[in-house]
Structure 1
């Protein structure tokens, strides 16, 4: 049988965070799907309705946490998949920092968008 290789150290911090974020994302995606497909139907979803939901602190904070968690989970997964494919040396370092910068840009822009929907005038 072929040997299984993973760049995650079993029991390491990144291994654990990948599993915790996966469990969180399953729950939040189920909530998101239920809310936007069963509570509100596609023809009812509007900017005003979204803004109304985002003005609630609980919904706003859940969506920001969802953004950060999904970004971390996705980028960490892509980075480790590339390492598993043999990425090493200078290319590995370059890819790591490109992914870090891209993650920061996605999170900052996501929070700016959430703030605009919530009527918060911060950054």
Structure 2
């Protein structure tokens, strides 16, 4: 029988954060779909409504947390999938650096858009 291999060390920080962000994303994604697809139908979503929602500090913090958790969860998953495929050495360091830089850029851009939508910039 083939041995199971995972780059996640059970009980490690990355392993725990991957699961915590997954649970958080499921809950916030359900909230997002409920609010933006059932309470407000897609045809009713307008720029002004988005601005009004982002002005609410609770909503703003939820969406920024959604952005950070989603970015971490996705990038950490891709990184560990690449390690599971045999990525190591210098390639591993380069991929990690590129993913970290891309993640920080995505989060910075997302926070900039969120603060602009909230009217804070």
TM over 0.5: yes
Report how far residue 33 of structure 1 moved. 0.6
When the two structures are aligned, how many residues end up with a matched partner? 121
**How far does residue 11 in structure 1 lie from its aligned partner after superposition?**
0.5
Work out whether 1:44 is the aligned partner of 2:48. Answer: no
Aligned equivalents of 2:2, 2:119: Cα separation in 1 = 55
Q: RMSD value over aligned CA atoms? A: 0.5
Q: Provide the C-alpha distance between the structure 2 equivalents of 1:10 and 1:83, rounded to a whole number of angstroms.
A: 15
- Deviation, 1:23, is 0.3
Query: SS of the residue aligned with 1:112?
Result: helix
1:7 aligns to what SS in structure 2? coil
Instruction: Tell me the alpha carbon deviations over residues 17-57 of structure 1, each in whole angstroms, 9 at most, x when there is no partner.
Output: 00000000000000001111100001100111000000000
Where do 5+ consecutive residues of structure 1 fail to align? none
Task: Give, in whole Å, the separation in 2 of the partners of 1:5 and 1:46.
Answer: 47
Measure how far apart 1:2 and its partner are. 1.3
Q: TM-score, normalised by structure 2?
A: 0.99
- Once residues 6 and 26 of structure 1 are traced to their aligned partners in structure 2, the CA distance between those partners, rounded to angstroms, is 23
The CA distance in 2 between the partners of 1:22 and 1:71, in whole Å, is: 11
- Write the distance in 2 (CA, Å) between the matches of 1:82 and 1:46: 40
4+ residue runs over 3 A deviation: none
Structure 2 residues without counterparts, runs of 5 or longer: none
Which residue does the alignment assign to 1:95?
Answer: 95
